[in-house]
C-alpha cells in the first residue's frame, strides 16, 4: 500500500514547489503556474537548464523576466520564490521547510528515473525526494511516448512510494477546438490533484448551468 500523501503540518495554503524539466510541454507549465498564482498560492519555483531551453523552444520564454511577464508580473513578484536547480542546499531540499506538495511539469524521463532511484543530483530531484519522504503530494506530469519497460518500472516504483504519475494526455469528450482548451484539460487535472479549485474545463456529468464559461 502506498503511503499517505498529505502532510497535516503543511496546511492547504503552504507554498507549493513547482519544477520544470526538459520534457516537451512548456505551455502546460506556463498555464499551470499562471493558475496557481491566480488561486493565490505561493510557489517555490525551480527550472532546470533543460527546462529553460524547453521554455525558449516551445513558448519563446527565454529568461526569468519573460516567464514573469507570461504569467503576470505582479502576482509573480508577490507569490513566487525562485531557486537555482544547482543549489541543493536551498530551502526545498530540506524536510523542515514546509511545503504543501510538489509538481514537476513537465517531468522528463531522466528526472523520473533519478527520483525513482533516489539519486538527488539537483534541487529538483532532491525536492522530489523530500516530498516522498515527508509524505507530501508529489505530482509528476510526464510527456513521453512510447514508454519503455524502464519508464514503466520507474513509474511503478514512484507510484508505490506515494507519487502520482500524470501523463500530459488531454481528453476530447469536452469537444476542444483550440490548443488552449487541450492545455487547460491537463492543467485542470493537475490543479485538482494539488487541491487547487478551478473551473478551467467542463466537468463530466455537471449540468450546463454549472459549467465554466
Name the band, by pLDDT with cuts 50, 70 and 90, for residue 203: confident
| Region 58-69 average pLDDT | 98
DSSP class per residue in the chain: -PPP---TTT-TTSPEEEEE-SSS-HHHHHHHHHHHHHTT--EEEEE-HHHHHHHHHHH---SHHHHHHHH-HHHHHHHEEEEETT-TTSGGGSTTS--S-EEEEEE-HHHHHHHHHT---SHHHHHHHHHHHTT--EEEEE--SSPPHHHHHHHHHHHHHT-EE-------TT---SHHHHHHHHHHHHHHHTT----SSPPTT--GGGS--
Q: What is the pLDDT of residues 24-59, one digit of tens each?
A: 999 999 999 999 999 999 999 999 999 999 999 999
pTM: predicted TM-score of the whole model, two decimal places: 0.91
- Domains of the chain: residue spans and CATH: 16-210 (3.40.50.1950)
| Region 166-185 average pLDDT | 94
Amino acid at each position: 500500500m502506498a503511503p499517505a500523501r498529505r502532510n497535516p503540518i503543511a496546511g492547504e495554503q503552504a507554498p507549493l514547489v513547482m519544477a520544470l524539466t526538459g520534457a516537451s510541454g512548456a505551455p502546460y507549465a506556463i498555464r499551470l503556474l499562471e493558475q496557481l498564482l491566480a488561486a493565490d498560492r505561493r510557489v517555490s519555483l525551480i527550472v532546470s537548464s533543460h527546462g529553460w531551453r524547453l521554455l525558449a523552444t516551445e513558448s519563446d520564454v527565454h529568461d526569468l523576466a519573460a516567464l514573469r511577464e507570461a504569467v503576470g508580473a505582479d502576482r509573480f513578484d508577490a507569490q513566487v520564490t525562485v531557486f537555482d536547480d544547482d543549489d541543493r542546499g536551498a530551502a526545498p531540499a530540506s524536510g523542515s521547510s514546509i511545503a504543501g506538495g510538489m509538481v514537476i511539469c513537465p517531468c522528463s524521463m531522466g528526472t523520473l528515473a533519478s527520483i525513482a532511484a533516489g539519486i538527488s543530483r539537483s534541487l529538483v530531484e532532491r525536492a522530489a525526494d523530500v516530498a516522498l519522504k515527508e509524505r507530501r503530494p508529489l505530482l509528476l506530469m510526464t510527456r513521453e511516448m512510447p514508454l519503455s519497460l524502464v519508464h514503466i518500472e520507474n513509474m511503478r516504483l514512484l507510484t508505490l512510494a506515494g507519487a502520482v504519475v500524470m501523463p500530459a494526455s488531454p481528453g476530447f469528450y469536452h469537444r476542444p477546438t483550440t490548443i488552449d482548451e487541450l492545455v487547460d484539460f491537463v492543467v485542470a487535472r493537475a490543479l485538482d490533484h494539488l487541491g487547487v479549485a478551478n473551473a478551467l474545463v467542463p466537468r463530466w456529468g455537471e449540468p450546463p448551468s454549472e459549467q465554466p464559461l
